[in-house]
Amino acid sequence: MMTQEQCSHRNNVQSSEKPQVYKVGIYGWRKRCLYFFVLLLMILILINLALTIWILKVMNFTIDGMGNLRITEKGLKLEGDSEFLQPLYAKEIQSKPGRPLFLQSSRNVSVNIVNSNNQLLTQLVTGSSGFKAQGKMFEVKSTSGKLLFSADEQEVVVGAERLRVMGAEGAVFSKSVETPHVRAEPFKELRLESPTRSLLMEAPKGIQILAEAGDIQAICRNELRLESKDGEIFLDARRIRLMRLPEGKASTSSSSSGTRQTVYEVCVCPNGRLFLSQAGAGPTCQINNSVCL
């Protein structure tokens, strides 16, 4: 057993030793680096917040949308000028009531209609080279729904009351033309011409050529033929002039007179040719071989 002196000596030794203290935390240069990073992070947060507020202010972000773009129940609404850098896909594009809709491009504006297999059905292209439309049918209608123009693979229909051609050379048709009425403008000439081929006019119930305040001229190089298969040919005028008819030889009795003959008879050859013969007291038409052959 420990004696009383040993116990007292041990207690004196323990009381003479100092208590040890352990420090908890970051001290020295580590503490300064931590404060520096915290300060840098706070600065970055403030800069990021300021940039976010500036972007929201510049882009005009609101609850309804962004800038000129508004989100409505019917879709998106754009106010002012808008620029699209990529293709635009939409079901319907319309302007505000009472305001025009402008589509502008530095190259061209294309409108394509495709099917479920992404095959092109209808295309509308407007560019610097012109206007081009591709499809099975093209129609133009008035505000009342009346057809003004229609074109497909079979025919081209002009539904307007009047078709006016303003070109100096008129209209050129490579094939036949079917129309109920061909008329020139007031105080203008109407000319139907085929420079290298024939010109044919057909109508089952008749053809009427009328010039109310002018002349009608029919000029040809070879023959001008008027033929009526089942009817007659009428020449109805106050004066009928047959120019440049050949003159047959006068008979002996008529040629003996010294006076100058100014009256002639119109004679007809068996083949239908006409010639002139000097008129006399009786018939003077005689078959002239030089005229009737």
250: helix, coil or strand? coil
Higher pLDDT, 32 or 289: 32
Q: Could you tell me the CA-to-CA distances from 46 to 56, 156, 251 in Å, in that order?
A: 15, 71, 131
Model confidence over 7-66: pLDDT tens digits?
Answer: 555 555 555 555 665 566 667 788 889 889 999 999 999 999 999 999 888 877 777 777
- Lowest pLDDT segment from 49-58, 122-131, 213-222: 213-222
Q: What is the pLDDT of residue 133?
A: 87
Q: What is the pLDDT of residue 47?
A: 96
Q: E strands, the chain, where?
A: 65-66, 69-71, 76-78, 108-114, 120-127, 130-134, 138-141, 147-151, 156-158, 264-268, 274-278
Higher pLDDT, 180 or 269: 269
Burial of 275 from C-beta contacts in 10 A (0-12 / 13-18 / 19+): buried
pLDDT at 145 over 60: yes
Q: E strands, 62-167, where?
A: 65-66, 69-71, 76-78, 108-114, 120-127, 130-134, 138-141, 147-151, 156-158
- Amino acid sitting at position 80: G
With beta carbons less than 8 A apart as the criterion, state whether 211 and 182 touch.
no
Mean pLDDT of all residues in the chain? 78
Q: If you average pLDDT over residues 154-172, what whole number do you get?
A: 80
Q: What is the pLDDT of residue 214?
A: 76
Q: If you average pLDDT over residues 177-197, what whole number do you get?
A: 78
Model confidence over 63-121: pLDDT tens digits?
Answer: 777 767 777 777 777 777 777 777 777 777 777 778 887 777 778 888 888 888 888 88
Name the one residue in this structure whose structure tokens are 């109407």: 190
Name the one residue in this structure whose structure tokens are 């319309």: 94
With beta carbons less than 8 A apart as the criterion, state whether 270 and 284 touch.
no
Domain ranges of the chain: 25-94, 107-161, 262-292
